[in-house]
Amino acid sequence: MSATPITGTLHRLLGPGEPEVSCEVCFAELDRYVDAEVLGQDADAAVPGMRAHLAGCPACREEHESLEALVTSQ
């Protein structure tokens, strides 16, 4: 996901609230994040920055929702 001029400006003004996660990192760490969520652990601590990335990236959010649905249906 590339930054837009608005997100770039906000980032410069507000600074990074959490570590930035790329789509590549998101897909690599999504299993661990969902496992932590399902087990009732602190998923945000398990993969810092993931929650913010999922909030802003529709493709990764869809993958998260699909994986979460798959894991919880078993």
Could you list the residue range(s) of the whole structural domain that residue 65 is in?
5-72
Domain count, the chain: 1
pLDDT tens digits, 35-54: 999 999 999 999 999 999 99
Judge contact between 26 and 20, C-beta under 8 A: no
Residues contacting residue 56 through CB under 8 Å, at least 6 positions apart: 1, 7
**What is the pTM for the complete model shown?**
0.73
Reported as a single tens digit per residue, the pLDDT across 5-17 is 777 776 666 555 6
Alpha-carbon distance of 25 to 32, in angstroms, equals 11
